């Protein structure tokens, strides 16, 4: 039963940005539980880097598919794109960098 609860807590969203068609990134997939696992699994199998942020995923999964990201979330999305620019493909190194940035962001918010 614990595994089921753990699965149901997962959330995931996939974004796409086409500067010729959209003014902001848009949500192309979002879901919770089993659907979140499938979104993440599909991204990883396709070589798409995955960024983990539970708070942001919670917000994005509440939005409609095809919706553009609202301005209030632009900074968070920019940070993700910056993260991807430094993506190395080494899961341990990337995880450590993600944790470092998360701590840095947390410290900036509390200052």
Name every residue whose Cβ is closer than 8 Å to that of residue 13 and which is 6 or more positions away in sequence. 27, 29, 30, 31, 39, 56, 57, 60, 61
pLDDT at 91 over 60: yes
pLDDT for position 88: 63
pLDDT for 77: 87
Helix or strand run (H / E) with residue 74: helix 74-85
Sorting pLDDT into bands at 50, 70 and 90, what band is 71? Answer: very high
Give tens-digit pLDDT for 7-65: 668 999 999 988 888 889 999 999 999 999 999 999 888 888 888 888 899 999 999 99
Percent of the chain with pLDDT over 90: 38
Given this model, what pLDDT does residue 2 score? Answer: 57
Per the structure, the count of domains in the chain is: 1
Residue 77: give the domain boundaries.
2-110
Q: Domain containing 57 — which CATH number?
A: 3.40.1690.10
């Amino acid at each position: 039963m614990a595994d089921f609860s753990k699965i149901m807590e997962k959330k995931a969203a996939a974004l796409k940005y086409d500067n010729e068609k959209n003014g902001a990134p848009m949500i192309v997939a979002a879901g919770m539980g089993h659907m979140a696992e499938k979104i993440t699994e599909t991204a990883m199998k396709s070589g798409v880097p995955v960024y983990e942020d539970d708070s942001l995923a919670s917000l994005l999964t509440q939005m409609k598919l095809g919706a553009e990201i609202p301005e209030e979330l632009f900074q968070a999305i920019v940070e993700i794109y910056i993260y991807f620019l430094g993506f190395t493909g080494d899961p341990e190194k990337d995880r450590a960098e993600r944790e470092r940035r998360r701590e840095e962001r947390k410290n900036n918010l509390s200052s």
